[in-house]
Amino acid sequence: MLNAADLAELKVLLGENGVVASEAALFTYEADALTVARRPPDAVVLPRSTDEVCALVRWARAKKLPVVPRGAGTGLAGGATTEQGGLSLSLNRMDQVLRVDEARMFAWVQPGLVNLWLSQQLAPKKLYFAPDPASQQVSTIGGNVSTNAGGPHCLKYGVTFNHVLGAVVVLADGTAVTLGGEAPDSPGLDLLSVVSGSEGTCAIVTEICVRLLPLPEGVKTLLFDFDSIDAACRTVSRVIAGGIVPAAMEIMDQHTTQLVEDWLHIGLPTDAAAVLLIEVDGPAVTLEPQAQKIAAIAREHGARSERIAKDADERLLLWKGRKSAFGAYGRLASGFTIMDGVVPRTRLAEALANVYKFAAEKQLDAGNVFHAGDGNLHPLVLFDDAIEGQAEHAEEASGAILDLCIEHGGSITGEHGVGIDKAAYMPRMFSDDDLDTMQLVRCAFDPQSISNPGKVFPTPRLCGEVPGRKKGAPPLQEAGLAEVF
Ligand SMILES: Cc1cc2nc3c(=O)[nH]c(=O)nc-3n(C[C@H](O)[C@H](O)[C@H](O)COP(=O)(O)OP(=O)(O)OC[C@H]3O[C@@H](n4cnc5c(N)ncnc54)[C@H](O)[C@@H]3O)c2cc1C
Q: pLDDT at position 134, please?
A: 87
Q: How far is the CA of 319 from the centre of ligand 1 (A)?
A: 20
Q: How far is the CA of 122 from the centre of ligand 1 (A)?
A: 22
- Mutate which of 44, 76, 331 for ligand 1? The one with the most ligand atoms within 8 Å of its CB, which is 76
Q: How far is the CA of 425 from the centre of ligand 1 (A)?
A: 20
Query: Over 90: is that where the pLDDT of 115 sits?
Result: yes
Q: pLDDT at position 330, please?
A: 84
Cβ neighbourhood burial of 240 (10 Å; 0-12, 13-18, 19+): middle
- Spatial separation of the C-alpha atoms in residues 6 and 15, rounded to whole Å: 13
Contact 101, 221 (CB under 8 A): no
Q: pLDDT at position 477, please?
A: 52
- Spatial separation of the C-alpha atoms in residues 164 and 166, rounded to whole Å: 6
Q: pLDDT at position 185, please?
A: 83
233-274 confidence digits (pLDDT tens): 999 999 999 999 999 999 999 999 999 999 999 999 999 999
Q: Is the dihedral of CA 325, 328, 332, 334 positive or negative?
A: positive
Which pTM does this prediction carry? 0.91
Q: pLDDT at position 468, please?
A: 40
Q: Residue 40, preceding bond cis, omega within 30 degrees?
A: no
Q: pLDDT at position 469, please?
A: 40
Nearest CA owner, ligand 1 atom 27: 143
Q: pLDDT at position 418, please?
A: 95
The number of beta carbons lying within 10 Å of the beta carbon of residue 24 is 7
Tell me which residue of 215, 211, 150 sits closest to 184, measured CA to CA.
Answer: 211
Q: pLDDT at position 462, please?
A: 46
Q: How far is the CA of 75 from the centre of ligand 1 (A)?
A: 4
187-198 confidence digits (pLDDT tens): 899 999 999 999
Ranges of beta strands (E only) in 331-443 are 335-338, 341-342, 365-371, 376-377, 379-383
Q: How far is the CA of 3 from the centre of ligand 1 (A)?
A: 31
Query: Over 80: is that where the pLDDT of 381 sits?
Result: yes
Mean pLDDT over residues 296-306, rounded? 96
Residues with CB under 6 A from ligand 1: 32-33, 68-76, 79-80, 91, 111, 133-135, 139-140, 142-144, 146-147, 149-151, 199-200, 204-205, 326, 415-417, 419, 452
Mean pLDDT over residues 113-132, rounded? 97
Q: Name the percent of the chain lying above pLDDT 70.
A: 94
Query: Over 60: is that where the pLDDT of 412 sits?
Result: yes
37-73 confidence digits (pLDDT tens): 899 999 999 999 999 999 999 999 999 999 999 999 9
What Cα–Cα distance (Å) separates residue 344 from each residue in 1, 157, 202? 47, 18, 30
For 176, list phi and psi in degrees, rounded to 5.
-105, 135
What does the mean pLDDT of the chain come to? 92
Q: How far is the CA of 143 from the centre of ligand 1 (A)?
A: 4
273-289 confidence digits (pLDDT tens): 999 999 999 999 999 99
- Spatial separation of the C-alpha atoms in residues 439 and 313, rounded to whole Å: 48
